[in-house]
Amino acid sequence: MKKISIVIPVFNEADNLSLMYQKINGVFETIQEYTFEIIFVNDGSRDRTQEKLAQLSRNYSEVKYLEFSRNFGHQPAVKAGMDFANGNAVISMDGDLQHPPELIPDLIKKWEEGFDVVLTNRFYPKEISYFKKRTSHLFYKFLSTISDVDLRKGGGSDFRLLDAAVVQEFRNFTEDDLFLRGLTSWIGYKQTTINFTAGERNAGESSYNLKKMMKFAFTGITAFSVKPLYFAVYLGFIFSAIAILGYGIYVIHSFAANTEISGWASLIMTVVFFGGVQLIILGIIGIYLGKIFKQVKERPNYIIRSKNF
């Protein structure tokens, strides 16, 4: 019998764990030709998540857990689950039930058809704001444009199935700033995508605030493209040309009209404008230098405090 490993990163999801197990177990009761394990990765939760996981693991042999020493983030949590999974295929999904477990048989079916990577393309229910839908779409379109990978299909969800051979490749990655959505598209293999509508969160609140989403966006952009550096260079040339042409004409006109002593307003605006452009360019360079600084330290992506296997 083939074994399916389900990797679920959790952060303050104590009220969702039992229901999550029940739904996944119910799914596999309908496809009894497969065995399964659930690897919950506790990403530094501050509620009773670890207590609930310990209880579930005592009651059900399929339940495994990894407890981080602190909060390392969603992407390292998914990576940790894949590092310890030993199934013929690994499915990663969120623990808030917005990734419907009922879709698992469809993922497995595509895998059995010969696909090594089965991505999911998430559609939002009507309750989700237009702003979130639109910004998510524009972000992945923009990221696909400036990088070498296409993230428009399946890029907006961590709900995916990976064959064991693909998971083994992921274990070899030593990147500090993980962006698994991009790496999944970059890694190749035979891929396909299926659509789903995101479910409603069962309990708790999402920990993905605007600050975390912005950080995630910058990680994705800088992890798969150096085009922002080229953009900074082009921007410098453009504004230098504007300055030479525009202010050159202004200086010549001033001398011709004998009004070369100008007011302070234009000077201040010029300094502020070009100072801002320089800071933007230095910021872009700084982000890449910061990534290099963290990478050369070769610190682990996560530290495990405890596990039950």
Least confident range of 19-33, 64-78, 135-149: 135-149
Query: In whole angstroms, what is the distance from residue 195 CA to residue 141 CA?
Result: 17
**The model's pTM:** 0.69
What confidence tens digit (pLDDT) does each residue in 2-37 have? Answer: 999 999 999 888 888 889 899 999 889 888 889 999
CA proximity to 308, closest of 80, 14, 70, 54: 54
List for the chain the helix, strand, coil content (%; round to 5): 50, 15, 35
What confidence tens digit (pLDDT) does each residue in 214-256 have? Answer: 665 666 566 666 666 666 667 766 766 666 666 666 666 666 6
Contact between 8 and 38 under an 8 Å Cβ cutoff? The reply is yes
Query: In whole angstroms, what is the distance from residue 264 CA to residue 100 CA?
Result: 62
